[in-house]
Amino acid sequence: MAEDAVFTVRVEEIAAGGAGLARHGGKPVFVEGSAPGELVACRLSEERRSWARAELLEITEASPERIEPRCGRYGLCGGCNLQHIRYEAQLAAKTAIFKTAFERIGGFSPPEPAVFPSQPWEYRNRMQFHRISGKMQDAAWRGGENGGAFGLKARKSGGVVPLADCPIADPGIREALRQSAEGGAAIIPPPGKDRFTVYARGGLFLSDGGKRRGQVTLLNRSLTLDAGLFFQSNGAMLERLIVDLRDIAAAGAGGLMADLYCGVGTFACFLADLFPRAELVEKNKSALALARENLAKTGAGAAAECFALSGDDWAARKTGAPCIFIVVDPPRQGLSPFLSAWLAVKGPPLLAYVSCDPATLARDGGILRRGGYELAELRLYDFYPQTAHIESLAVFRK
């Protein structure tokens, strides 16, 4: 196609990442901001040999799934990309993306996933903001957009979008944003950091630039959090996931369990009491120290051993009794080739894989299946409504 070509296409579905998928001359074209079924005019913005991207210019026939976005910053801010689609249609799109990943990348058809919806708004307990400085901050002040010195990353540039509110944020974060926009000091960027995190739930408010540590209650248990360390961003969905993990782990209880990529010990705090012994593996030493502290509160600390190692190093050094159950919660990159191959050969009878990326889960799932595992269950937890992010749990049995 010619550079900046304008053309009309029919959007077929939502693709991984959240853009609408259409075809022009047989070539897949991704149109951000479109909805399933609609006819749109768009302009070519990027073309590769096997696919292209196009900018949405006009909606000729709107989709019945299209709705008015709730946020005034939608389209500018990079946080959300599905607010223009009904929530039920978002879930359907994510389910289709999830299943397709296994077929295209894993090379097999997965079981039908159970889908657990979230509260669509005010669900997000943990958010990462970016400092606005220099001329950017001056422009924000003059525009009356925000009285603060921070915001969220812009969708189409390297800039930062200032904001005085965010409808997906926990009410505690929303209130802090409003106060900061009015000149208050509810959210203070820490000195020397361009990026910082806040966490709010049930009256607790933590921030890199203020009170960093505090107690959050999950399923009637208290855990210590640090705003500077990773923690799941949707507390209600996390509780649902923990309940399910405990039911799954109980079927393999007895012997040794391991929690790989354990973070601050969230899963182990609810699973370790089912097993006589537990091993926690986390290369971030600060997170692992907090995991020890949290385990001690549950009474399971005495039977748990912590390893400040990567999953690869733990597996390479693993000796003694084999694990009967392992839960893994890797980053978006998924398992390393070494660890997935090691688990395929030496893994436990029962493996729970918590994933934040269907593509890497499907890839790793293919390796595990070739090693003798069966993908017994799939569950999709919608931790991030209004976005294309997909969190899931896959249960593998040998």
Q: Which of 171, 143, 176 is nearest to 73 (CA)?
A: 143
CA pair distance 50, 296, nearest whole angstrom: 54
In this structure, is the dihedral angle defined by the CA atoms of residues 353, 358, 360 and 366, taken in order, positive or negative? positive
Q: For residue 61, count other CB atoms closer than 10 A to its CB.
A: 11
Q: For residue 203, count other CB atoms closer than 10 A to its CB.
A: 8
The alpha carbon of residue 372 and the mean position of all alpha carbons in its chain are separated, in whole angstroms, by 28
Give the CA distances from residue 229 to residues 85, 116, 233, in Å, rounded to whole numbers and listed in that order.
32, 26, 12
Residue the block writes with tokens 């039920």: 88
Provide the terminal-to-terminal Cα distance of the chain, rounded to the nearest Å: 50
Q: Say if strands 213-218 and 52-61 run parallel, antiparallel, or are unpaired.
A: unpaired
Q: Which of 360, 168, 170, 191 is nearest to 261 (CA)?
A: 360
| Helix-helix angle 337-346:358-370, to 10 degrees | 40
CA pair distance 361, 16, nearest whole angstrom: 14
Number of residues that make up the chain: 398
CA atoms within 13 A on the CB side of 185: 5
Active site residues: 356
Q: For residue 370, count other CB atoms closer than 10 A to its CB.
A: 12
Q: Say if strands 20-24 and 213-218 run parallel, antiparallel, or are unpaired.
A: unpaired
